[in-house]
Each structure stands twice: as structure tokens, then as C-alpha cells.
Chains A and B, each alone.
Chain A
Amino acid sequence: MYAALLAAATSFIVTKLSAPVLINLLRSKGVVRPDAHKPGNPQVAHAGGVVIFLGTTAGFATWFALTFALTGVDDTVVRASVALLAGAVCFLVGLVDDLRVLGGLTKTVATVLSIFPITAVALLRPDLIEWGRPSLPFIGTLRITIIYWALLPLAVAGPANVVNMLDVLNGVIPGMMLTAYSMLALIAALTGGHATLALSLIVVGVLLAYYPYNAYPARVFNGDSGSLFLGGLLGALAVIEHYEFVVFTLLLPHLLNGFMILVSFRGFKEHRKVPKRPTYVDDQGMLHPSRDVDAPLTLTRLALLLGGSATEREVARLYFLLELSACALALLSVLH
């Protein structure tokens, strides 16, 4: 626990110090994208996932060194390393997409590769990662080996891509993920998920330092590298330490949004190639829901239909509150 807290402090400091340098570097290298929701569409540094990944890696290295010095390489260290490796695959796919745009389906299929490190360890050391026994509220442990294998390719790729799909407004993903990882850390502390606790605290440290840079008005976009990494890591932790239902609940807003988009498009589509937008921005920077019959249904469009037109900052605040609701449900799932 102390090692994890020290690692979280390290990840916070490294992110705080490296973020301004990396953001300037990204800008100077021309890794920028227009901010579509602001008047004049100003250019903003892209691929902020580099900052998030660097901070997480620094925190993990600190935790690894401290744990190794105290207990050697135990099961928790291996589990956490495998989860981070799966997250790293998602980060790399996202980074390639940030630098050279990939197609929607290509990106999704590439993130499926992130399950391989987990599969390899599960096959080599079945005592470390036990398949097909997710823990569910009111039911207990399920034995669904064949269905579990069938759904396994989506276990990391699914969370990674649904988080990416909701990364549409300034501050939404770091804010929601900060809340989700904090709740996951609390649940892991209550239920004895040591690897999940360590990595969740490290990510909380990173996001506390990173959030101000992506909050409205953003100085850096997370890019696919950031959102795929944060979602993929959540999925990996869910599989490795059996937090499937908890993570599913924490990601319900993202899953609903992703499902609505997939149904609207009847498949995967790169967001830059979407012909009809679900929302539009007026000259004052107010977001309005589209009334076009062909526009996709998204959570943001639904929120604007329910609550009326809003600023980007108001919608980000709404998403933060919605994630708190999901966190309450996740806690209920564990404490039933």
C-alpha cells in the first residue's frame, strides 16, 4: 500500500513536470489538431497520451522497484506488469493513429492484439490468471469458460474503444477516468486486488496532474493514445483480477455511448469520416443537438436534448456527475 502511494506521488510529479515540456514539443513538431467546438477552431497540441503513458510508466517503475526490494517478484507484480503491457499495446495503436490516421475498423482490430500478453500468461501460469470465472453481484462466481473465451478479444479492446468514442469534449475523459480509477482503487482496497490498487493509484496520480492541461480550454488533446490506453488498462485489470462487472459498471456511460454510435452507423467508422454530426456549435460556442434524421445518436446529443443547449464546460461537468452515478452503482455491485 505504501509502495503504491509513493508510486502515485511519483507519477503525479513526473506528469506535472513533463506535461508542459511534452506539450510544447508536440506543438513544435506540428502534432496539432483544430478544436472543433471553439469559435475559430484554434490549433491544440495532440497525442497527450504520451504524457499519460510516461507518467504511468514512471509511477509503475517506482512501485516495481519498491515492491521488488521488499518482496521480490511476486504474483501481484506479474499481474500488474501484464496489465500495463496490455495497456501499452493500446497506447501504441493510439499513437500510430495520432500520427498517421488509421481507419475505424483497423484501429479497433489492432487494439484486439492487446489481449495477447494476458492470454500468454494465462496459458503459461493458469494459477495467476484464472479464466472464465467472473464475479457478479447477487450471483457470485460464474463458470462460463466457453462464452468467456468467445468474448475475450473484446475484453481489453472493448473498454479501450468505448472510452475513445466518448473523448469528444475538453476534460471529459481525464475527469471521468479520474473518478473511475479512484473508485476502482477503493474497491480494490476493499476486496484485496493488489495489482489493481497499485495501478489505479498510479493512474489517479497521473490524471490529477494531467487534468488541468485537458480541461476547458484544453492545451492538449488526449489523442487516441491517451483514451485507448486509459480504457485498455481498465479492461486489462478487469480480466486479470476479476473486476469484470465493476469495470463494466464504471464504463456504462461510455458503453452506452459506444453502443448507440455503433447502432447508428451499423458498424465502425472513423469519426473524421462521419457525414452527419450529432451536435453542432454556434458562433458563441454553444453546443446544440442535431435534428437531422440521419445524424447518429450519441450520449452528448441525448444530454443536449434532455437539458437544452449548453457550453462545452457544462457538458463536461454533466459527464463528471454521470460518472459519479456509475461509481455509486459499481460500489453497490461490490457491497451488495
Chain B
Amino acid sequence: MKLLRAWAGLTALVIAAWLSVLLFIIMLNLLLPMVSNNVLRAVLGLILLTAWVAGMAVLVEVLRRRIAQKPAPESSAR
């Protein structure tokens, strides 16, 4: 196994996920105070959260399908 390549790839994925969550929360923090009603603000927050999770789910599904279509690489087995 090319340990470094696998680690770099997965670490990039983890950092991307961390940044996307952080940016999403910052966006919520900027957007939600514009709504004065508490309940409306909570509903809007939940809708945005659901939409964001759905978007991430679509990304995962696209990745899963792309992986299955790609030809297998040369095995690095010893």
C-alpha cells in the first residue's frame, strides 16, 4: 500500500469536510440573525441544514458511482 498517498488523500477529504462545515456554520451565523422571529429562524436553520446534508449526500453518491466506473489501478501488493 502507498501509505502516504492514501493518508494524503483521506486527510484532504477530512480537511475539506471540516472547512465546509465551518463555512456552513459561519454562513448560518451571518444569515440567521437577519430573521427576527425565533421560530422562523429555527425553521430556516433546519431547512438550510437539511439542504446542506442533502447536497453532501448527492456528492457521495456521485463519487460512489464514479469509483465503480473507473478501471482498477495496478495493485501495489507485495
- What's the Cα separation between A137 and B25 when bound, in Å? 10
Chain A residues within 8 Å of B41, by CB? 146
A318 & B3 in contact (Cβ 8 Å cutoff): yes
Contact bitstring A108-124, B, C-beta under 8 A = 1, else 0:
00000000000000000
Chain A residues within 8 Å of B17, by CB? 252, 255-256
A318 & B6 in contact (Cβ 8 Å cutoff): yes
- What's the Cα separation between A301 and B60 when bound, in Å? 13
Would you call A248 an interface residue if the criterion is a C-beta within 8 Å of the partner chain's C-beta atoms? yes
Chain B residues within 8 Å of A307, by CB? 1-3, 5-7, 9, 76
B34 → A minimal CB distance (Å): 15
- What's the Cα separation between A297 and B72 when bound, in Å? 15
Q: For B56, give the chain A residue with the smallest CB separation.
A: A259
**B residues 29-63 touching A (CB-CB < 8 Å):** 29, 38-39, 41-42, 45-46, 49, 56-57, 60-61, 63
A196 → B minimal CB distance (Å): 21
Contact bitstring A301-312, B, C-beta under 8 A = 1, else 0:
111111111110
Contact bitstring A236-253, B, C-beta under 8 A = 1, else 0:
000000000000110011
Would you call A288 an interface residue if the criterion is a C-beta within 8 Å of the partner chain's C-beta atoms? yes
Chain A residues within 8 Å of B22, by CB? 136-138
Contact bitstring A284-321, B, C-beta under 8 A = 1, else 0:
10101001110111010111111111110011011001
Query: A297-B60, A310-B1, A322-B7 are contacts. A147–B45 as well, Cβ < 8 Å?
Result: yes
A2 → B minimal CB distance (Å): 35
Would you call A61 an interface residue if the criterion is a C-beta within 8 Å of the partner chain's C-beta atoms? no
A308 & B76 in contact (Cβ 8 Å cutoff): yes
Chain A residues within 8 Å of B10, by CB? 253, 299, 302-303, 306, 318, 322, 325
A154 → B minimal CB distance (Å): 12
Would you call A139 an interface residue if the criterion is a C-beta within 8 Å of the partner chain's C-beta atoms? yes
Q: For A139, give the chain B residue with the smallest CB separation.
A: B29
Counting chain A residues whose Cβ lies within 8 A of the other chain, the interface size class is 35 or more
- What's the Cα separation between A259 and B1 when bound, in Å? 25
A180 → B minimal CB distance (Å): 13
Q: For A325, give the chain B residue with the smallest CB separation.
A: B11
A260 & B76 in contact (Cβ 8 Å cutoff): no
Would you call A25 an interface residue if the criterion is a C-beta within 8 Å of the partner chain's C-beta atoms? no
Query: A136-B25, A314-B1 are contacts. A146–B72 as well, Cβ < 8 Å?
Result: no
B45 → A minimal CB distance (Å): 5
Chain B residues within 8 Å of A260, by CB? 60, 64
- What's the Cα separation between A256 and B10 when bound, in Å? 10
B18 & A264 in contact (Cβ 8 Å cutoff): no
Which of A292, A302, A304, A315 counts the most chain B CB atoms within 10 A? Answer: A302
Would you call A54 an interface residue if the criterion is a C-beta within 8 Å of the partner chain's C-beta atoms? no
B73 → A minimal CB distance (Å): 7
Would you call A188 an interface residue if the criterion is a C-beta within 8 Å of the partner chain's C-beta atoms? no
Shortest 5 CB-CB distances between A and B: which pairs? A307-B6, A308-B76, A310-B1, A146-B42, A293-B68
A-B contacts, 19 of them at CB < 8 A, read A138-B22, A138-B26, A139-B25, A146-B39, A256-B13, A259-B60, A263-B57, A263-B61, A302-B9, A303-B9, A304-B1, A307-B9, A308-B1, A308-B73, A308-B75, A310-B76, A318-B3, A318-B10, A321-B7
Given A297-B67, A302-B67, A315-B1, 7 other A-B contacts at CB below 8 A? A142-B25, A147-B45, A249-B18, A259-B56, A299-B10, A301-B67, A303-B6
